[in-house]
Structure 1
Amino acid sequence: MKTYILAIILLAGLWVSCTPSSKKSEVQVTARDTSVTPATSYSDLFIDSATMEKFIAVQEYKDSLANRLRSFYNNRNYQCAWFFKEGIAEYATTFYEMYNDYISYSGDSALYNSRLQQLYDSAVSGNLKPNDSIIAATELLFTAQFFRYATRAYQGSNQLDAKELDWFIPRKKVNATALLDSLLKNKGKNLSAYEPVNKQYNLLKQQLVKYYEIEKTGGWPLIKADKKLYQLSDTAASLKAIKKRLYLSGDLSNADTSAVFTKELQQGIKDFQKRYGLKEDGIISTALITEMNRPVQQRVQQLLINMERMRWMPAQPATDYLLVNIPEFRLHVFEKGKHAFAMNVVTGSVIHNTVIFSGTLKHIVFSPYWNVPSSILKKEVLPAIARNKNYLALHNMEWNNGGIRQKPGPRNSLGLVKFLFPNSYNIYLHDTPSKNLFNESTRAFSHGCIRIAEPKKLAQFLLRNDAAWDSLKITSAMNAGKEQYVNVKEPIPVFLGYFTAWVDGDGKLNFRDDIYGHDKKMKARLFNK
């Protein structure tokens, strides 16, 4: 099964939008719905609006949270959400467990409220009466904590500036009120159907729990190599530690304690190499052991960093879209929300980072000219012309309106086709004559644009519903030597993302190197407090 990142990016659900957050409170207080009466209400218990206002004042809530509480209870005409005459609702326990679970795995202690635990314990004791004052206090604190939980758990830390972290895909916003309404409507059941979080987030959370358990038991053993390479049938004491390491991370199914390099170990090494984007040769090298020896605490932080990014993304889409995961060096193509195929890509180098952003692919250009960017013209082409007056002719280039462009053809730096999603970064997908680079494990070589390994396959996918284009016509246009623009009938979203940890289609946890240092930057914000 192909390795891919499950539907990471795209549409907003009922409570999700992709507009940038504002520093001012965006929560407007809605009018009170007086049509809700004891005869028509969901709950048979009500609280007094004055009681709520006193609660807000005592808690000193900011306007955004205070207004969210006011709107929520105005819409209900102050009927209780968490209580009935019989006692506290069952779904209150559902939320309370979600809340505690989040604090446990995320380490977000700022959300913890000891008073909530005290009130919850009293409520579930079964000794409360409908007129007990503790009901109003528990009701209001539960709602306030739900709103705080929903924002932090599903939207991400508001202390992080995504743009300052070089992330230019708009962060999603969560409508916590609509989410709470859904929880109440569904009585806490079938949460996955309306939870505003990307599926990948929960997959990473499951892996995080496993890594926490490894960490609690002391982590994996430090491997001390006594030679540079280990291959099939070798015998060495260090192979015992390697086998234990692979067993803990799930790459070996059996706890083999022998010192022999078996076929099972060879397959386990290949599985590990695949998960880390390394050459799958089944050989244990010094570099591989270095990767294995990275402490489990480092991997835990890497998981938390990528879970934070996943919280910024909308939930799973059901449309066509393209996703480039920069650290993975792969383009993933989704058709109606399902993974269709993937291909290798070459991304920007460490000096010329590919920007993390989103756009809409609208045009395909067959047999393109390459208009040399001013930075490349100044730093590379003009000095080359100064050294060799025949440089332009040798590279099939020409002067054009004061600039230089490369003519269409197989030697063109953009190859035979490019795919445009207009943006201010001048980044696009394109073919390349340098096919050999796709065989490298690390493929950060470009000036920022994305070179793709199978351009014709992508063109066929994008034009598959256009009767004017078939395989032969696409091949002909790619090799015509004359530039031709084609509008895509159904423009498709494109996302250039940055994920160094994810769970693939086989349920395997993948890790990649932090090639641009974005993880390092976020780590300093999340953990160095």
Structure 2
Amino acid sequence: MKKVRVYGILVIVFVVSISLISWFCDKKKDMALTSHKKASKSFVVSFDSTLVSAFYAKYPKLVLYKKQVVSLYQKNNYDFIWYDKKGRKETADVIYNKINNLNLEGVLAKVPYKDVLDGLFLKASAKPDLDTELFLSNYYFFYVNKTLQGIDSTKMKELEWYLPRKKQSYVGYLDSLLVDPKLIDNKEQHISQYYKLKTVLQRYRDIEQKGGWDSITVPKDFVAIKPGDSSDVVAKIRTRLFLTGDITEDSGKRVYGNALQQAILKYKKRNGFTLDKTILPKHLDEMNVPVSERIKTIMANMERCRWISTDVTKAKEFVVVNIPSYSLTYFKEGKAALVSNVVVGNTMNKTVIFSGMMSYIVFSPYWNVPTNIIKTEILPAMKKDKNYLSKHKMEWNGGNIRQKPGPSNSLGLVKFLFPNTNNIYLHDTPSKSLFNSEKRAFSHGCIRVEKPVELANLILTDDKHWTPEKIDKAMHKGKESWYTLKNKIPVYIGYFTAWVDDDGTVNFYKDIYERDQRLTSMLVEE
């Protein structure tokens, strides 16, 4: 009986122990669940979508970004994206710092409601704040639109810029930034020229902060300064060129000696002047352009860089024409294989800023005279001289006029076609002397190339059908012949008034179509 009684007591103790253990486990779970619920209440995951419209009613200057912001939150089910349980995310601080340093990116636009953002951002609360959340989203799009995308496409067309624009989803881009904020400083977001201009921008701002440069005044009877001349003006020129790094030392000497002569050649080269050592009034006028204006020019060209896809430079070969510098560069395997002077359209017949695919080379071409030239130039000339057509080796072709192939043909011995609605192409010219001019805006819109033979040979180097001898023969055959390129070559016609070489030298070119000021005003309006 005692054994049975002891056994019963042990069973009771075991059952009670199991019950107590179960009770403690359930209690622990309840406590954990309660703690989780409290934590959940301290971090609101999402917000009411109707509050977005209320935000824009309160801050109407940000409505420009409403479409992108709504798209962002629809994608994220109206969850808070700038906060987590630890508080405001690191990416939020990165965007805020970038907004505070927009000037480093050459952005002129004012930040709307900046004082409000500053006040919200100084709050140390870890709890999500809807105004701060929506401000950050709006300023994220403000930042990427200004620094990555640039002005909208409609304004680009007002500036007659028709190069293809890079496309990117900045809603998707934010996903990457939230994971790794350092991606915002990735130097593959723009073409390399953007970052070169950015470096030069800081250099010129440093010059401005130190007082810039004084205007160089000369006597009314000033004509020129030549090597060996001595005057106070020479000393002022030396100081001016020292500030921009064209000469390494400001000795204060009044004599136009060898060191300053070399500096003048460097200055002329990077400002598009004929390379001689004589200093004329026009050279001093260029030196007197205030540093503040140079800074605006740099920023305008940084903006142009924003419009260009980085894919442009990834092609195996491509051609770039820069209108203000009157230059053509043929790139192959990432390197400049040829640089040639060009003649571009005059101010009445501006060369269009666009791109195309070079598909044909035409040897010994006819020149099919455009209708407007027939009406405004040839027909009036024919009234004065009935033999005008024969004298210029022209003939009627149906209802139009064309010039026969040959050395005197206005297109020269070869033309390079990239079919386009603008009827613009690259071509040779018999008027070689025009390439010696500083200003080379003389054409009716097409682009005359100083080195067409070299360009043709380089393009056809890898084509077994052609040799330099065959190319020369085709050019001088006097009979038009077309050749279809096996690989089409991208041609980009751009407009850059400031350009930085690989060695960091900045070049400034005349704004021949007067587009910089219009662009700068648009950037301020933005």
Q: Which category describes the TM-score, using the shorter chain as reference length?
A: 0.7 to 0.9
Q: 1:392 to 1:141 in 2, by over 3 A?
A: same
Partner of residue 68, structure 1:
68
- The gaps in structure 1 that reach 5 residues or longer are 1-44
CA distance, structure 2, for counterparts of residue 325 and residue 392 of structure 1? 34
Contact 1:154–1:174 under 8 Å retained in 2: no
- Displacement of 1:443 in angstroms is 0.9
Q: 1:95 to 1:528 in 2, by over 3 A?
A: closer
Q: Residue 502 of structure 2: SS of its match in structure 1?
A: coil
Determine whether 1:209 maps to 2:205. no
CA distance, structure 1, for counterparts of residue 235 and residue 97 of structure 2? 40
- Displacement of 1:455 in angstroms is 1.1
Contact 1:366–1:477 under 8 Å retained in 2: yes
- The gaps in structure 2 that reach 5 residues or longer are 1-41
Residues 476-495 of structure 1 mapped to structure 2, 5 A cutoff: 476-495=473-492
Contact 1:428–1:450 under 8 Å retained in 2: yes
CA distance, structure 1, for counterparts of residue 239 and residue 426 of structure 2? 43
For the pair shown, the structure with the greater C-alpha radius of gyration is 2
CA distance, structure 2, for counterparts of residue 142 and residue 56 of structure 1? 16
CA distance, structure 1, for counterparts of residue 520 and residue 142 of structure 2? 23
Larger RCO (alpha carbons 8 Å, 6+ apart)? 1
Aligned pairs, number: 477
Partner of residue 113, structure 1:
114
Q: What does the per-residue CA deviation read over 1:76-124, in whole Å, with 9 as the maximum and x for residues that have no partner? A: 556654444444444443333322221564231145622333333334x
Determine whether 1:145 maps to 2:139. yes
Residues 278-289 of structure 1 mapped to structure 2, 5 A cutoff: 278-289=273-284
Q: 1:272 to 1:470 in 2, by over 3 A?
A: same
Determine whether 1:253 maps to 2:254. no
Give, as a single letter, the amino acid of the residue that structure 2 aligns with 1:113: K
Contact 1:323–1:333 under 8 Å retained in 2: yes
User: Percent same amino acid at aligned positions?
Assistant: 42
Contact 1:221–1:244 under 8 Å retained in 2: no
Partner of residue 97, structure 2:
97
CA distance, structure 1, for counterparts of residue 77 and residue 157 of structure 2? 40
Q: What does the per-residue CA deviation read over 1:350-409, in whole Å, with 9 as the maximum and x for residues that have no partner? A: 222212222221111111111111111122222322323332222222221122211111
Contact 1:343–1:454 under 8 Å retained in 2: yes
Q: 1:52 to 1:336 in 2, by over 3 A?
A: farther
Residues 384-395 of structure 1 mapped to structure 2, 5 A cutoff: 384-395=381-392
- Displacement of 1:335 in angstroms is 2.2
Instruction: Specify which of 308, 311, 314 is matched with residue 309 of structure 2.
Output: 314
CA distance, structure 2, for counterparts of residue 292 and residue 120 of structure 1? 45
Q: Residue 359 of structure 1: SS of its match in structure 2?
A: strand
CA distance, structure 2, for counterparts of residue 183 and residue 467 of structure 1? 49
Partner of residue 276, structure 1:
271
Give, as a single letter, the amino acid of the residue that structure 2 aligns with 1:121: L
Q: 1:387 to 1:366 in 2, by over 3 A?
A: same
- Displacement of 1:314 in angstroms is 2.0
Q: 1:414 to 1:159 in 2, by over 3 A?
A: closer
CA distance, structure 1, for counterparts of residue 510 and residue 423 of structure 2? 25
CA distance, structure 2, for counterparts of residue 484 and residue 186 of structure 1? 57
Instruction: Specify which of 231, 234, 239 is matched with residue 226 of structure 2.
Output: 231
Partner of residue 324, structure 1:
321
Partner of residue 424, structure 1:
421
CA distance, structure 1, for counterparts of residue 70 and residue 44 of structure 2? 12
Q: What does the per-residue CA deviation read over 1:278-300, in whole Å, with 9 as the maximum and x for residues that have no partner? A: 01213222211111112222222
CA distance, structure 1, for counterparts of residue 332 and residue 92 of structure 2? 38
Q: 1:182 to 1:337 in 2, by over 3 A?
A: farther
Instruction: Specify which of 291, 309, 319 is matched with residue 286 of structure 2.
Output: 291
Instruction: Specify which of 464, 476, 481 is matched with residue 461 of structure 2.
Output: 464
Q: 1:262 to 1:79 in 2, by over 3 A?
A: farther
Q: Residue 442 of structure 2: SS of its match in structure 1?
A: strand
Which protein is richer in helix relative to its size? 2
Q: Normalized against structure 2, the TM-score is what? A: 0.83
- Displacement of 1:216 in angstroms is 2.9
Deviates more, 1:327-336 or 1:387-396: 387-396
Superposed CA RMSD in Å reads 2.7
Q: Residue 228 of structure 2: SS of its match in structure 1?
A: coil
CA distance, structure 2, for counterparts of residue 99 and residue 290 of structure 1? 37
Instruction: Specify which of 213, 216, 219 is matched with residue 220 of structure 1.
Output: 213
- Displacement of 1:74 in angstroms is 4.7
Partner of residue 198, structure 1:
191
Contact 2:176–2:183 under 8 Å retained in 1: no
